[in-house]
A and B are shown apart, each in its own frame.
Chain A
Amino acid sequence: MSDEPILTVQDVQVTFPTGGMVNRSSILGVAGVSLNINRGETFALVGESGSGKTTLARAINGLQDISEGEISFDGGRIDTLSRRAMKPIRRRMAMMFQDPVGSLSPRMTVGDLVTEPFRIHGIEGRNLREETARLLSLVGLPADFASRFPHQLSGGQARRVGVARAIALDPALIIADEPTAGLDVSVQGEVLNLLNDLRERLGLAMLIITHNLHVVHHVADRVAVMYLGRFVETGTTEEVFDAPSHPYTAALLSANPEPDPDKARERISLPAEVPSLLNRPPGCEFHTRCPWVQDRCRTVAPMPEPIGTRRVACHAPLAPGARPPGNQMETA
């Protein structure tokens, strides 16, 4: 395993045009983010819907053009590649989509589905029957599943087929967009264990997009917390979870509902109004909801600064266990 990151994202921005002929403008979906993922590492992107997680994943995979920045994969720059030149890269960078059944063609058998990547990439000279058996056994499905159709699969089995498709061409990186959304906790555990097992056995790197913080805690080595298209805090999962420095991270972690009806909950309560991307607040974009807001937050945008293993974009990073001023702490 080399120390060189498999994926490097540098100051990437994605803009979407908006408005009509007269009031033409654009919004920033991803507003300048940087990350790198090492071989064999699991990196999690956390943030609410609309915070830019999926857009960033699509940009990395070349499904979305970027307007600024650079993306390098396995030592070579990929954001400047043409569609055609990108195709061989995608063999090594597999995408797992959210809706497991929706991403499988209903008229193809499982066997056809897991070997479809070979046909798409024109890879010949492989015994597809053997490949099917190999892939199904890697994801823990019986070989006779090859003749089944997607509607005959349970949610967990469909995800396994999705994983088999993703690993068919021996990728170096898997991008999994909400790999466990909609699954109950038992099947969720199965899918995460499977991904982790494959990561270990095949030395895969993984980018997992999720808003389930409990999942992040167990599976990710490092995590980036996204808010309005920016990383507000990145670092090792342990450090971020033990002592979040950015107020948004602290609020997210304190909000995380736990399965214990009697647990005393001390929560950092935030105003629920998330600013629109069409009208980004000046200064720190979290200041409209931040309990610790100071004057300069309203005018000066904070740059990410190192704290331990982390980078935190905040003028006044929190001390461990910090409580918000005033009465913005709720005990339920």
Chain B
Amino acid sequence: MTVLTIRDLNVVFSTEAGPLHALKDVNFEVPERRIVGIVGESGCGKSTLINAILGLLADNGGVTGGSITFEGQTDLVGLSPDKMRALRGERISTVFQDPMGALNPVLSIGRQMVNIQYRSGLSRAEKEARAAEMLELVRIPDARAALSRFPHQFSGGMKQRIAIAMALMMEPALLIADEPTTALDATLEVATIELLKDLQEKIGCSVLFISHHLGVIAELCDEVVVMYAGEVVERGDVRSIFNDPRHPYTRRLLECDPARQSSRTRNLPTIPGEIPDLRARPRGCVFRPRCDLAVDTCADPQAERDLGGGHQARCQKAQGLTNTMAELGAAT
């Protein structure tokens, strides 16, 4: 079963300068017990996508087409606020970049962890036991005592682990993690993704993991969705995306990662040009103005090309772009 199925999703914001097409024909799935990563630069629509899933789009924005099916039956598009509220925090939970934003600074950790179990029907003692159990699960030392402490008494990495414990307390079907490791150093970043992986297996939930850190995505995720200017340009299992990328944007993006430059260079590769104005999308392929492989027919509407094994790329040349990243690396 798929936990989340997004079909032809379109989101438009009305702005003074005209309608802004923030998400266009977005398709992807989050299967059960899988970690799906979304990569894309600022402004590619990652946050809009999360807000659309959670029913939290700003007042000037709305879903103009498509569906977001949760657990095979509920369409989250147009779901009443009451029903949405019943899902959020219980079946779908979130972890954000800044754990301080998720924790109340004037309440003890234990109080907050008990409060969010208000729908559980457990007794206070049971709720406290459950909170301590979750803190142990995210490896907070001396969990019982930690319940009486306040957020500022924990380090950044611990706060993020507490936020993860809170998000997973109700054993949701889907955890949405938006850049949860960006503020951490490499040792804590790795510890946090290993913890996430571990908990995901224990709880058996799915994770939608958003990051622009390609290394973290490669390490954590089973499947990857690459977004550019509000469109999904490529998706597939993690090995296909990193070893055999078929969309020119994905290929350029991977080439740009300084981690791929094995020798030290002062001149890092870049993708010339800018993301298009989403109020005036280019015709056809959205990457066309910056693509060095573009031909006239790229101005026609582009369908996703199926490359087998769930690997899809929205580029008419996808089938032909078969030289691997290793070969590309050797050529540059």
Contact = CB atoms under 8 A, between A and B. Distances in A.
Interface of A: 47-51, 154-157, 181-190, 192-193, 196, 211-215, 217-219, 237-238, 248, 251-253, 255-263, 265, 267, 269-270, 272-274, 276, 332
A272 B186 contact: no
Which applies to chain B's interface (DSSP): helix, strand, loop or mixed?
helix
B256 A189 contact: yes
A30 B78 CA distance: 52
Given A186-B256, A272-B157, A211 B185 contact: yes
B6 to A, nearest CB: 22
A218 B266 contact: yes
Given A213-B186, A218-B266, A255-B189, A261 B261 contact: no
Nearest to B268: A189
Interface centre among A184, A187, A196, A211 (most CB of B within 10 A): A184
A193 B186 contact: no
Interface centre among A49, A188, A256, A259 (most CB of B within 10 A): A259
B274 interface: yes
A156 B274 contact: yes
B264 A256 contact: no
Given A185-B214, A214-B259, A257 B264 contact: no
A196 B267 CA distance: 8
Contact of B242 (A257, A260, A276): A260
B163 to A, nearest CB: 14
A216 B303 CA distance: 40
Contacts of B270: 186-187, 189-190, 193
Contact of B258 (A49, A218, A269, A272): A218
A188 B187 CA distance: 22
Contacts of B219: 257-258, 261, 265, 332
A332 B260 CA distance: 20
Nearest to A216: B258
Closest 9 CB pairs of A and B: A184-B41, A48-B185, A257-B215, A189-B268, A259-B214, A255-B186, A214-B258, A186-B271, A189-B270
B258 A47 contact: no
Contacts of B252: 186
Contact of B186 (A50, A211, A237, A261): A211
Interface in B212-265: 212-219, 238-239, 242-243, 252-254, 256-261, 264-265
Contacts of A193: 266-268, 270
Interface string B95-132: 00000000000000000000000000000000000000
Given A189-B256, A214-B258, A259 B242 contact: yes
B187 A251 contact: yes
Interface centre among B188, B189, B238, B252 (most CB of A within 10 A): B188
Interface in B171-187: 182-187
Interface of B: 40-43, 139, 141, 153, 155-158, 161, 182-193, 212-219, 238-239, 242-243, 252-254, 256-261, 264-271, 274-275
26 contacts: A48-B184, A50-B155, A182-B182, A183-B212, A188-B258, A193-B268, A196-B267, A211-B186, A218-B258, A218-B264, A219-B266, A251-B187, A253-B186, A256-B259, A257-B193, A257-B216, A259-B214, A259-B215, A259-B218, A260-B218, A261-B243, A269-B191, A272-B161, A272-B188, A274-B188, A276-B155
A256 B215 contact: yes
B153 A276 contact: yes
A269 B252 CA distance: 33
A261 B191 contact: no
Given A214-B258, A218-B264, A274-B157, A182 B42 contact: yes
Contacts of B268: 188-189, 192-193, 218
B86 to A, nearest CB: 33
Interface centre among B40, B256, B259 (most CB of A within 10 A): B259
A189 B139 CA distance: 37
